[in-house]
Amino acid sequence: MRIDQWVPALHRGDAIGDSARLMRDAFRSWGHVADVYALELDGDLEGDGRHFSSFRPGGKQDVVILHYALPSPLNAALREHRGRRVLIHHNITPPEFFAGWDEEMVRICRLGREELPSLVPHVDLALGDSEFNRLELEAAGFPRTGVLPIYLDFARYGERADPVSQAMLEDSRTNLLFVGRLAPNKRPDDLVRLASVWKRFISPEVRLVIAGRPWRRRGYLDALRAFSYEEGLTPSEVVFLGHVDHRQLLACYRTARVFVSMSEHEGFGVPLVESMLMDVPVLAYAAAAVPHTLGGAGVEFNEKRFMEVAELAQLLASDEGLRAAVLRGQERRRAAFAPEAVEASLRTYVESL
């Protein structure tokens, strides 16, 4: 049997693309012919993925898996495909988060969310990478749904961190870390507010580290930097790292005392799982998929009372007993995302088609 995957873009370091390539490797290990096709492909991944223009349909027993994360010509191709069809929903940010910042993103996100129900008659199995996403699929009308978490290579998180990045971030300051695309739904402005409260009322020895690709609208990053200054924070106290490679990312986790998320929309939240793997306690606003991914691990809060959240973060950073208890809970939870667990679910879904 042939099992092909379609992704809008295949970029190094992108969680969806990385997950698709790990799934492909699993399919091949089971004896299937498998490839990943993308509309856009990084040059250094040319041998690891294929351009969608080279895709040729197979037989009716073959499978195509569409990773749904934004509207694209892949949707029309899926409707026309005559083999077995699976959709994996990675979620699309609600358009209102971009209103006033980027009207093109408002249009793209609205279109992506509106197109999802149109695929219902053309999909044999619809999977969400979180229960939150599965519920969206169910609400859209897909009759057969399930959950398949993002596939992560746990072994890579034991690799050596970048020594230069680690040295830069390793000093007497308490590092509060957030990893994620710098975009309005992630609420980096609330992270800045939290760091400001910490500096004023807990200790001046604090550093907020935000690692993630800047949003395409340069003005948003400039506005965040200006806001940080208004909140009394210096560039050494709020560090916007931008895109980091894997070893630099490991340095961020290894020097972090607490991972803090103020995000108001996550479809899954890969950094939550990464924090569990790297033994960094998680403190997160309980929005969208966050409670589903944490599954009772970490520490969640339902209201953004910044003084209280700062005190919680300070306890997680300094109270060794509390910290150890939280890390034990996270260690138990991360087993649900282990490669062998995800692969077992994947095999079950494939065999059910």
53: number of Cβ within 10 Å: 7
User: Which pTM value belongs to this model?
Assistant: 0.97
pLDDT of res. 214: 86
The average pLDDT across 83-107 equals 96
The DSSP code sequence of 166-211 is HHHH-SSSEEEEEES-B-GGG-HHHHHHHHHHHHHHT-S-EEEEEE
Least reliable range by pLDDT among 192-206, 208-222, 239-253, 275-289: 208-222
Which segment of 41-50, 79-88, 143-152, 241-250 scores lowest on mean pLDDT?
A: 41-50
| DSSP of 79-133 | HH--SEEEEEE-----GGGGTTT-HHHHHHHHHHHHHGGGGGGG-SEEEESSHHH
Question: Whole-number mean pLDDT of the chain?
Answer: 97
Looking at residue 342, its pLDDT comes to 99
Instruction: State pLDDT tens for residues 232-290.
Output: 999 999 999 999 999 999 999 999 999 999 999 999 999 999 999 999 999 999 999 99
pLDDT value at residue 169:
98
pLDDT in tens, 7-66: 999 988 899 999 999 999 999 999 999 999 999 998 888 889 999 999 999 999 999 999
User: How sure is the predictor about 83, in pLDDT bands with cuts at 50, 70 and 90?
Assistant: very high
Domains and CATH numbers, the chain: 2-151 (3.40.50.2000), 155-337 (3.40.50.2000)
Do residues 284 and 290 make contact, with C-beta atoms less than 8 angstroms apart?
yes
Q: Is 133's pLDDT higher than 90?
A: yes
